[in-house]
Structure 1
Amino acid sequence: MRDFQLPGRSPVRATEGMVATSHPLSTLAAIHMLRSGGNAIDAAVCAAAVQAVVEPQSTGIGGDCFVLYCPKGQGEVLAFNGSGRAPAAATVDWYQENGFSELPKQGPHAVTIPGAVDAWCGLLEDHGRKGIADALAPAIHYAENGYVVHDRVACDWEESKIDLSADKAAARIFLPGGKPPTAGDVHRQPELAATLRIIAENGRAGFYEGQVAEDIVGRLRQLGGLHTLDDFAATKGDYKAAISTSYRGYDIQQTPPNNQGLTALLMLNVLSGFDLAAVDPSGAERLHLEVEAGRLAYRDRDNLLADQDHVTVSVKTLLSSAYADQLRAAIDPQPAMTELPRLELPGSDTVYISVVDGDRNAVSFISSTYDSFGSGIVSPKTGIALQNRGTSFRLDPKHPNCIAPRKRPMHTIMPGMMTKNGRAVMPFGVMGGGYQPFGHVHLLTNMIDFNMDPQQAIDAARVFCGVVEAGRGVGVGAVEGLRQRGHQVVEPRHPLGGGQAVLIDWDKGTLTGASDARKDGLALGY
């Protein structure tokens, strides 16, 4: 139990349904969806659509998503890949011949075809009770009538003003009066509201065919992009078998690559050989072991992970106990490894949603346009900010993540699901670009090894590997202990990620929700 004399928040506890998101309006819309007869999939899509309006720096219908879904909380966990692909004309030869040494962070060549709307429509059709029109209704309302800009959103928005000013449509919509909105301002997106109405009326075709697709493709082609209407029409998400590893009796589920979920599983496999519960949860010894496991796992992420149609090393091999033993042998409890490069891992903007309904359908849902406002390009008639996931591709033909026609890039966003004995225990996620695998592991070890409740586990101070970033809550003694082990330690410029989780207690029939104070959101249940 937490110390009620100190700042903080209690977890939220309920029986019938629970939603945790990074924005109050998103959480409230999802709760209303559940209470009006929708299930967890309906609520998650509804929440994602609201966040596509009210957290425009982080997500939108110009982005992608990944989803883990456990129907009725039992049996197989379904993994849905809602990430888009490169244009059919995007060959590595074209980029090399046109003088590119890397994929840019902004502009048309950073844009992959958005997969979110296709995912929403497909998931609702396959597993929802309500249709796309019901799911989009709150988002349409906020885009059309306005929403109040929240504090963390305003902070992130302010940092994007230079990039937004480079695109006329972006500046018109997202820099009203020539500047970013501040906390407490009311912001409207009428063009986006009209686009959402088209999707509500026409479903998937309303985005990938007709006037919306034509406006997006026209703008990208005008800027020199390789995108075509055929690329949009061909976009289709798909179900994959979830990948997992066992950690202290729990099964941790992730979506398979092309995202970085495997990185968290590699870290857990390494850490399973150390007795974390015997050390101080806030001390240097625990943090050092996590940092070293992270450095090894992220090295493999950067060298090996890509669209599974283009890799040579199998997931099974990487998750084997023999490989975990090999990685673990490189870690010393005292000095930091010297043979690995220090990682430089940029952050990004993401939204994560966790929902469990009365039937115990459990959904772990994550969405993003990658960098703040994605590519910086906004489709002028539709009001859609387009993602910049293409910047993750490489231009080395020998690298598995090299760009290729209709190929998916390596993705940072990754939902998580903890299960035990064939039942869902907790849909969870941690946002923050490259930090996400590390954040998943820190959250899980806080709960499993140190018996924290979900809110305590999310609130706990964080570090990140590479040049070790230690959040302000990390104690002076722990920082000094990391430095004595050879780590360079700095304070991060921004908070390390954000997170949500909903814990299912099958014996008591209760749900416990948690949401990260590093963002604007909250958990609500009933």
Structure 2
Amino acid sequence: MRLISLMGACVLAACPVAAQDAANVADTTAAATQGIGPGARPVGADWSRSPVVAREGMAATAHPLATQVALDILKAGGSAVDAAIAANAALGLMEPTGNGIGGDLFAIVYDPATGHLHGINGSGRSPAGQTLEQLRARLGDGATSIPPVGPLPVTVPGTVDAWFALHDRFGKLPMADNLAPTIRYAREGHPVAPVIEMYLARALRSYEARQEEHPFDFANARATWFADGPPAPGEIFRNPDLADTLERIAAGGRDEFYEGETARIMVDYLRRQGSAFTLADFAAHESEWVDVACVAYRDGYELCELPPNSQGYAALQMVNILKNVDLAQWERGSAQVLHYITEAKRLAFADVARFYADPDFAAAPAELLSEEYGRARFALIDPERATPAFAAGDLVAPQLEGPGDTTYLTVADRDGMMVSLIQSNYRGMGGGLVADGLGFMFQDRGELFSLDPEHPNAYAPAKRPFHTIIPAFVKKDGKPFMSFGLMGGGMQPQGHVQVLVNLVDFGMNLQEAGDAARLMHDGGRQPTDALAGSAADSMAVDDLGTLFVEPGIPAATVEALRAMGHKVEIERTGIPFGGYQAIARDPESGVYTGATEMRKDGQASGY
């Protein structure tokens, strides 16, 4: 039997068909389970399962076959970076609803040889020859945002360049070896996983619905994934076009994708669709090595994230706010704990909407990560009531959130190298465009530009948009402790903080920290909006937003939160709450512990 189909990490408020789909899934789940609950366990919570432990190597991804690909690379002598690249390539084939080489990549690598964390920003830029005025003219009078489909939201795909940059620094095996498993699966086929089928079916419905508002070329995408409708769970799926593309990349390297035959195919296709991209835009692309920022929480734990244009600093801002209150004085599922996490998120995201952008155009204020600023923001929280609206901090911006569908993976090797990698095409499977014969979809990340010329995140030529995807890392007493992440648009920093709170404040193990019921606050201002108070700020913004919670949150807590002024909805599909993977390392024995996401098809495994 096919599952009821839903697409991606799209939050309910943003998806016109999602509310009915969510009800259908909830009804299907209830019918299947007949009210039965979890079984008993000899140790740990009865709603979780054991984390995985291994000594030599570990991988945790959103698909069991991708996890096995990573382990095979590790066993063949590859580094954690080799294995992460191999797994990411496999996920682009096996989980096209979350990622692919038409999208961008961010990663954090712990290098045991130096003891340092290395960050890479593999995000692409807008066309160098198109101005904001030209873009607005193409959008038409009255446009307040860039559409999610077609040529206009496409930015240069950064993933392949990031693969080769990572490999040049940390790889051991030839790139051809890393890509070989996916090339074989693409030609011979792999069985489609159940949750991924669900996303594929909903993606198809969404693209067909968007055709009416924003017509675009969907023929190649339909032929690649939906020739006979979405594949059923367990059905063998093949993508020979992607196999051909990866073979060219394996033989020709990074330059094949950005300057060779593949680049020419991409640019010729995009220009036929009305894009302003040129071959020079692709040839000029390069990833950027960036500094990883860490903020102390408590008990020796530090959360580490990447800087803007990603939203990683939002998680660090939340940590700086929440460390001013002892959350452990209450139960984890209490209204007080959920209230403080929610208000911390709202405060951080007010700054996200105001300050986060491509630092080459608008650097974020340094004060955002100071403990003094965290204390000042914490002081704005009313412990008894939800504040109707939070403004951004009174910081000087240089003069110059929406949902997403993503994959996160983490790999660790016998030498102690740990890789935290996240990769995405943004909304849905991307913008719906597939170049002739290439087998992958272009991202629609450019949808996240603001059209307000005064905003730091305003569209500009050769600029990187605000980015939702963020890998994470945790240190303990200054030593590497955990490589982890949680996919899903604006859920990501919220999820990072909730996992950290579960581990540090409430003593959960690595698997329980991910399986525990989550909250997801949606709403408020976004980096795509006009600046608050500006002449262009004509949009009605729901500053309070909606607090979505999973059924594991007690009913009494839900009612208490509503009494505090929060708009709370119980969301039963698990979709808006992201997808978690994690690997922790014991600093004494070197033993790895892995955990994976129950809301996805994933697997953590080691050897």
TM-score (norm 2): 0.84
Whole-angstrom CA distance in 1 between matches of 2:364 and 2:426 = 26
Residue of structure 2 aligned with 1:507, choices 583, 588, 591: 588
**Matched AA of 2:306:** T
Whole-angstrom CA distance in 2 between matches of 1:511 and 1:264 = 25
1:470 aligns with 2:552: no
**Matched AA of 1:27:** T
How far residue 163 of structure 1 moved from its aligned partner, in angstroms, is 4.7
Deviations 1:461-503 (A, max 9, x none): 0011230001122111111111111101113363410101101
Whole-angstrom CA distance in 2 between matches of 1:330 and 1:170 = 48
How far residue 348 of structure 1 moved from its aligned partner, in angstroms, is 1.7
1:207 aligns with 2:257: yes
Q: Which residue of 1 aligns with 2:20?
A: none
**Matched AA of 1:191:** D
**Matched AA of 2:201:** E
How far residue 333 of structure 1 moved from its aligned partner, in angstroms, is 1.5
How far residue 122 of structure 1 moved from its aligned partner, in angstroms, is 1.3
Whole-angstrom CA distance in 1 between matches of 2:44 and 2:472 = 30
Whole-angstrom CA distance in 2 between matches of 1:149 and 1:291 = 36
Q: Which residue of 2 aligns with 1:196?
A: 246
1:483 aligns with 2:562: yes
Q: Which residue of 2 aligns with 1:310?
A: 361
How far residue 125 of structure 1 moved from its aligned partner, in angstroms, is 1.3
Deviations 1:59-93 (A, max 9, x none): 00100100101111862211001111111023111
Whole-angstrom CA distance in 1 between matches of 2:145 and 2:590 = 52
Whole-angstrom CA distance in 1 between matches of 2:231 and 2:254 = 31
**Matched AA of 2:92:** A
Q: Is the 8 A contact 1:163 1:376 kept in 2?
A: no
1:87 aligns with 2:137: no
The SS at the match of 1:411 is coil
Q: Which residue of 2 aligns with 1:258?
A: 309
**Matched AA of 2:291:** A
Residue of structure 1 aligned with 2:416, choices 357, 360, 375: 360
> Which runs of no fewer than 5 residues in structure 2 stay unpaired?
1-40, 209-216, 392-400, 522-544
Q: Which residue of 2 aligns with 1:301?
A: 352
Superposed CA RMSD: 1.6
Deviations 1:437-481 (A, max 9, x none): 000000011001111111000000001123000112211111111
How far residue 252 of structure 1 moved from its aligned partner, in angstroms, is 1.3
The SS at the match of 2:303 is strand
Q: Which residue of 2 aligns with 1:140?
A: 183
The SS at the match of 2:332 is coil
Q: Which residue of 1 aligns with 2:579?
A: 498
Q: Which residue of 1 aligns with 2:394?
A: none
1:150 aligns with 2:206: no
Whole-angstrom CA distance in 2 between matches of 1:77 and 1:57 = 29
Whole-angstrom CA distance in 1 between matches of 2:605 and 2:433 = 35
Whole-angstrom CA distance in 2 between matches of 1:76 and 1:90 = 39
Whole-angstrom CA distance in 2 between matches of 1:74 and 1:453 = 29
Whole-angstrom CA distance in 2 between matches of 1:196 and 1:164 = 26
How far residue 114 of structure 1 moved from its aligned partner, in angstroms, is 0.2
Whole-angstrom CA distance in 1 between matches of 2:45 and 2:417 = 36
Q: Is the 8 A contact 1:263 1:297 kept in 2?
A: yes
Q: Which residue of 2 aligns with 1:402?
A: 458
Q: Which residue of 1 aligns with 2:291?
A: 241
Q: Which residue of 1 aligns with 2:474?
A: 418
Q: Aligned runs of 1:448-459 on 2, under 5 Å? A: 448-459=504-515
Whole-angstrom CA distance in 2 between matches of 1:309 and 1:280 = 44
Deviations 1:137-163 (A, max 9, x none): 111111111111101100111111135
How many percent of aligned residue pairs carry the same amino acid? 42
How far residue 373 of structure 1 moved from its aligned partner, in angstroms, is 1.3
Q: Which residue of 1 aligns with 2:605?
A: 524
Whole-angstrom CA distance in 2 between matches of 1:67 and 1:372 = 21
The SS at the match of 1:61 is coil
Q: Which residue of 2 aligns with 1:276?
A: 327
Whole-angstrom CA distance in 2 between matches of 1:362 and 1:389 = 27
The SS at the match of 1:385 is coil
1:377 aligns with 2:433: yes
The SS at the match of 1:245 is strand
**Matched AA of 2:57:** G
Deviations 1:206-255 (A, max 9, x none): 21122211111111111111111111111100101111211112221111
**Matched AA of 1:481:** A
TM-score (norm 1): 0.96
How far residue 283 of structure 1 moved from its aligned partner, in angstroms, is 1.1
Deviations 1:109-129 (A, max 9, x none): 110000000010111111110
Whole-angstrom CA distance in 2 between matches of 1:484 and 1:359 = 52
1:123 aligns with 2:186: no
**Matched AA of 1:92:** L
Q: Is the 8 A contact 2:411 2:583 kept in 1?
A: yes
Stretches of 4+ aligned residues off by more than 3 angstroms: 1-8, 162-166
Deviations 1:300-321 (A, max 9, x none): 111110011222542x210112
Whole-angstrom CA distance in 2 between matches of 1:414 and 1:90 = 28
Q: Is the 8 A contact 2:146 2:153 kept in 1?
A: yes
How far residue 512 of structure 1 moved from its aligned partner, in angstroms, is 0.5
Whole-angstrom CA distance in 1 between matches of 2:122 and 2:163 = 9
Whole-angstrom CA distance in 2 between matches of 1:89 and 1:137 = 37
The SS at the match of 2:508 is coil
How far residue 346 of structure 1 moved from its aligned partner, in angstroms, is 3.5
**Matched AA of 2:559:** E
**Matched AA of 2:117:** V
The SS at the match of 2:196 is helix
Q: Is the 8 A contact 1:164 1:170 kept in 2?
A: no
Whole-angstrom CA distance in 2 between matches of 1:302 and 1:510 = 40
Whole-angstrom CA distance in 2 between matches of 1:511 and 1:5 = 21
Whole-angstrom CA distance in 2 between matches of 1:495 and 1:409 = 22
How far residue 2 of structure 1 moved from its aligned partner, in angstroms, is 7.1
Deviates more, 1:156-165 or 1:324-333: 156-165
How far residue 164 of structure 1 moved from its aligned partner, in angstroms, is 4.8
Query: Structure 1 389/517 Cα, relative in aligned 2: closer, same or farther at 3 Å?
Result: same
